[in-house]
Structures are given as C-alpha cells and as structure tokens.
Amino acid sequence: MSNLTELPVEWDYASETDHLEAGSVSFIKFLGRKLYQEYEPNQFQVFEDRLISWLNNLDDERDQKLLLALLIELFFMGRKEFEALYRSVYGGTLSRWIIEQDELNPFSTTIDDEIKYKLNACWICPITDSLRINSFLKVNGLKTMEHRPDWKSLVKFGDKDKIRAYLQKNDVTKIILLEDFVGSGTQVQDALDFVEKHFRDLNFLICPLVVCPKGDEKIRERTQSLNGIDYSPGMLIPEEAMFKIGSASANPELNAKIWDLFLRLQDRLDAPNPESMLGFKKTGAQVVMYSNCPNNTLTIFHRESISWKPLFPRVNRV
C-alpha cells in the first residue's frame, strides 16, 4: 500500500471489524485542531502531519486503522483541562485537608478567606519539575512561600539543615507536595524517603493531580504507616481505562489485536520485551499531557527509533 497523504474520508464509514466507530476520522481531525495541537514538544508541527507520519509507520491499512482506534482510546489532557484540575484540587482536596488540619468551621461565612490564608501559610511545592507550580498557584490565587523547589532536586542536592532553617524562619508546619501525573509511583518514593528521614515532625499532604492505579496502590501502602503524611489524589484513572488484554480488558477484541501488533513491532521500537510496550513498569497508561507524554504510556505513542516515528515524541530526562 502506498503512503497516506491524508486521512481517508471513507474510514469514517469503516466496518465493525475495523473497530472504528462511524465518524472516527472526523472526530480525530476535530481533536487534532482543538486539543492535540497543544502538545508542546511538537507545537510547531501540524498535528495531522504527525498523525499521517505515525500511521505511515505501517503498510497494512488494517494496522493503520488499529492505530487510529487506539488513539481514540487515549486520554489527552490539554491546558484548559489542567487548569480545571488545578481549581478542582484547590477547591476539593487541598481545602478539605486544611479544614481538617486546622479544624476550621466549613459553615463559616469567611471560610473561603480562611482556607486561602491557611494554605498560603503552607509550603506548596512540586515533587518534580514536571508540575508547573507557578501556574497552579496563579490559577488559584495563592502566594505561599517565595521559594518553591521541586523535591526531586531537594532530595539530590538539598541540605536538610538549611531546609529546616527556612521552614522555621517562615513558621511552616505543613507542607503540600503536588505532582501532575503519577504512573507507577516511583518518583514519589524518593520524596517520601526524604520526608520520613528528616521531617517526620511536620504535616504533609501528597497530592498527585492524576494517578494511575499502580501508583495509587503503591503510595497508599507506603503512607498508611506514616503518621502525619496524608495522601489524596486529584483524579484516579480507573483500572478499566488502562491497557489490558484478556477478560480484564474493557475492550478485549480490540486490545487482543493491538497486543498482536505490539508483538510485531517490538523490535522496531527497540523494546527489550513485549511487556515493555506497556510503558515504564508495565503500567499500560493511555494518557498524554499537553506538556509531555509520560513514560508509563504505551510505547507506541512516544518511542522514537530509526524505524519508528512517534505521534507524541517524549522529552526524556538525560
């Protein structure tokens, strides 16, 4: 088959065996203009051009339709979605936590001002530099402390005595650690180790904006035994939204064909084993954020190799 130069209009009327609902091509084109185009690592390339290149990785039209069907299952979080999540976390998770911590009266006529005042007295920091703390604070009208380092860097380069001196100078007794996306929970563990070793006398809230089931389970198990450390995510991705095969899958017929495609593409994507096609720690996430693609997401979306052009190329840490 010759390479595609545009999305075939006739795919809008594909048969049921193609796993494409009627109007799929039109729907993807709409999302491309309104949402996928926001993807920052490729913001200056037209999304539909990237999509055509991604589909042209494969020669068989049936496989190309499988890729498109998989794309429709993707959960993409754009700027507006993240801003809405920022507000939701502030108005829900953070507000409930500070009300409980400081025993505020939720029925007070001044409760909104009290919540904001109390949260500004907390040290609100990101766990990694992936979470855009400035944006979170501005969207919610918060000020908090002048310095807001990510704790991944603090764990590596921070001086616990200087950190404690800073906390004492600013009368900080409560710390809120935010993260934009948690897949397997790995990036949270180092921060928890640091907290457990040096700052057990303070009260902490660990709040990922979005978390996958594996990460949620891992963090819950860890924090349950730690007094003074609360865990409350903004959004937990349901188990059925993760890529699975067999009876555990929400779409077993489609995912069985996708898994067969993964097996055929393993070498082209430099995947050491079939399970690595499910992303880091075999998470099986089908999530992309406008700022980057998590490494827990299916490799087929973000991995670049000599013989594979990704749809959402990931910016990796060195």
pLDDT digits (tens, 9 = 90+) for 26-42: 999 999 999 999 999 99
Residue 317's pLDDT band, with cuts at 50, 70 and 90, is: confident
* Contacting residues for 262 by C-beta, under 8 A, at least 6 apart: 274, 277, 300
Q: What is the pLDDT at residue 18?
A: 78
Helix segments in 73-175, DSSP class H: 79-89, 95-102, 111-120, 133-139, 151-157, 160-169
pTM over 0.75: yes
Backbone angles phi, psi at 172, to 5 degrees: -90, 125
| Fold of the 79-236 domain | Rossmann fold (3.40.50)
- The closest alpha carbon to 282, from 256, 244, 311, belongs to 244
Residue 246's pLDDT band, with cuts at 50, 70 and 90, is: confident
Residue 2's pLDDT band, with cuts at 50, 70 and 90, is: low
Q: Where are the beta strands (DSSP E) in the chain?
A: 75-77, 123-126, 174-182, 203-211, 229-231, 235-236, 287-289
Q: What is the mean pLDDT of residues 236-254?
A: 88
User: Contact at 8 Å (CB) between 244 and 216?
Assistant: no
Domain positions in the chain? 9-72+245-302, 79-236
User: Contact at 8 Å (CB) between 74 and 28?
Assistant: no
User: Contact at 8 Å (CB) between 229 and 206?
Assistant: yes
Q: What is the pLDDT at residue 238?
A: 93
Interatomic CA distance for residues 215 and 316, integer angstroms = 20
Q: What is the pLDDT at residue 250?
A: 79
- The closest alpha carbon to 187, from 158, 151, 226, belongs to 151
Q: What is the mean pLDDT of residues 187-216?
A: 95
For 157-195, write each residue's pLDDT tens digit. 999 999 999 999 999 999 999 999 999 999 899 999 999
Residue 318's pLDDT band, with cuts at 50, 70 and 90, is: low
Q: Is the pLDDT of residue 273 over 80?
A: yes
Torsion sign, CA atoms 298, 304, 310, 314: positive
Terminal C-alpha separation, the chain: 38
Q: Which of 32-46, 64-78, 246-260, 273-287 has the lowest mean pLDDT?
A: 246-260
Q: What is the pLDDT at residue 249?
A: 79
Q: What is the pLDDT at residue 95?
A: 98
- Residue 200's alpha-carbon distances to 131, 173, 196, 279, 297, in angstroms, are 24, 11, 5, 34, 34
- Give the other-Cβ count within 10 Å of 30's Cβ: 12
Q: What is the mean pLDDT of residues 263-282?
A: 94
Interatomic CA distance for residues 182 and 22, integer angstroms = 34
More confident residue, 204 or 317: 204
Average pLDDT, the chain: 94
Q: What is the pLDDT at residue 247?
A: 74
User: Contact at 8 Å (CB) between 127 and 187?
Assistant: yes
- Give the other-Cβ count within 10 Å of 282's Cβ: 15
Tokens 């998770």 belong to residue: 93
